Amino acid sequence: MARAMFEYTKTVLQKVSFNSELFCKELEKAMSRLLPYEIDELVIWLKQFTANKPELYSCLSLVK
């Protein structure tokens, strides 16, 4: 089930990436629900996903 939560989180983040406020809120939720190793994977995914989305860079501070 934990893997399903990780995949669901990525899907939600992709869908709300049009709005940086929503993206930050969903990212905060994800950080509280995912397991530590999944958060590490999410950070890697986030760096790739936000590479060409400068409006989402401010949300990355939540994962550091």
pLDDT value of position 39: 94
Domain definitions of the chain by residue range:
18-63
6 contacts: CB under 8 Å, gap ≥ 6:
34, 38, 41, 42
Look at residue 5 and tell me whether its pLDDT is greater than 70. yes
Average pLDDT over residues 7-13: 96
| Torsion angles phi and psi, residue 50, rounded to 5 | -95, 5
pLDDT value of position 63: 85
Please give the Cα distance from 16 to 18 (Å, whole number).
5
User: What are the pLDDT digits (tens) for 15-63?
Assistant: 999 999 999 999 999 999 999 999 999 999 999 999 999 999 999 898 8
Angle between helix 36-49 and 20-33 (nearest 10): 160
pLDDT value of position 42: 95
pLDDT value of position 1: 60
